[in-house]
Amino acid sequence: MTKELSPADKAKFVAAKRACDYVQSGMKVGLGTGSTAAWMVRCLGERIREEGLRIVGVPTSTRTAELARQVGVPITSLDDAKWLDVTIDGADEFDPNLALIKGGGAALLQEKIVATASDQMIVITDAAKEVATLGAFPLPVEVIPFGWQTTKALIEELLVGLDVMNREVSLRMNGDRPLITDESNYIVDLHLKRIGNPRQLALVLNQIPGVVENGLFIDICDVVVIGHADGRVVLRDINNGTESEDRIHFAPSDNIFREL
């Protein structure tokens, strides 16, 4: 029931629910990863059941694929879909240009491939993730396991010449072992505190041979949907330069809360 949702979950839910209004029958939809994106997948499942919405989803992780199956969202691979109408995903941080840090859930590689193969990327988030300058959230970088310590050293060396506030790099662990991504790689987290030039950093990181991809999403996000716990939703569109506000009403009888 809705009254059991935390304020953070309410904010994520209303952002996800409002973003699902962009989805229409016949669309191919990129399905992001994370707790906010999970609300979006549940909301799409509800629309499929209740309205007969006809869509196909392309999940960005095994976790999202599993949830989509559970809630009845048909899925296919990106290779089958080829190009998508829209991708809806969460983010760890976004700045005034709608540049993002993503990868807190270790799915940045598939997320970036899927978002880049979409006409539109919509980010769903709560207000706490809005920042003036990216970098307080550690920047995830997906690296090949072979020679990862050399790759980490090369990243550290690279950071010396760049406009960042801190330069610590750590291997992401899952218990006492390195975390393994869906693509069988490792993640290193860059604790930079402040990224002066995200565009430059994104480009130079990807020049290092052992780096597969980094979690900076620049010029990829079109719209950010910012949810608030009171049901307010702010929609910011970077292409139109517009900002509008909407309100989502909680329905305690809503079926999707019974699935929690």
Instruction: Give the DSSP letter of residue 82.
Output: -
Of 11, 13, 62, 7, the C-alpha closest to 37 is: 13
CB of 241 to ligand 5RP, least distance (A): 25
CB of 188 to ligand 5RP, least distance (A): 14
CB of 207 to ligand 5RP, least distance (A): 23
SS3 content of the chain, % helix, strand, coil (to 5): 35, 30, 40
Nearer of residues 140 and 210 to ligand 5RP, judged by Cβ: 140
Cα three-residue angle 219-247-44, rounded to 5 degrees:
65
Of 255, 148, 137, 146, the C-alpha closest to 198 is: 137
Strand partners, 163: none
* Residue 83, CA atoms < 13 Å, CB-side half-sphere: 2
CB of 25 to ligand 5RP, least distance (A): 26
As given in the structure block, the two tokens for residue 11 are 């904010």
Is 111 one of the annotated active-site residues of the chain? yes
Nearer of residues 48 and 221 to ligand 5RP, judged by Cβ: 221
Q: Is the dihedral of CA 202, 204, 205, 211 positive or negative?
A: positive
CB of 9 to ligand 5RP, least distance (A): 10
Nearer of residues 106 and 154 to ligand 5RP, judged by Cβ: 106
Annotated active-site residue in 111, 130, 142, 168: 111
Nearer of residues 47 and 63 to ligand 5RP, judged by Cβ: 63
Cα three-residue angle 197-92-208, rounded to 5 degrees:
50
CB of 91 to ligand 5RP, least distance (A): 6
End-to-end alpha-carbon separation of the chain, Å?
Answer: 9
How many other C-beta atoms are found inside a 10 Å radius of the C-beta of residue 52? 8
Nearer of residues 89 and 222 to ligand 5RP, judged by Cβ: 89
Nearer of residues 37 and 208 to ligand 5RP, judged by Cβ: 37
What is the contact surface with ligand 5RP in residues (CB under 6 A)? 32-37, 89-92, 102-108, 111
How many other C-beta atoms are found inside a 10 Å radius of the C-beta of residue 220? 19
d(CA 117, CA 89): 13
**Residues with catalytic annotation?**
111
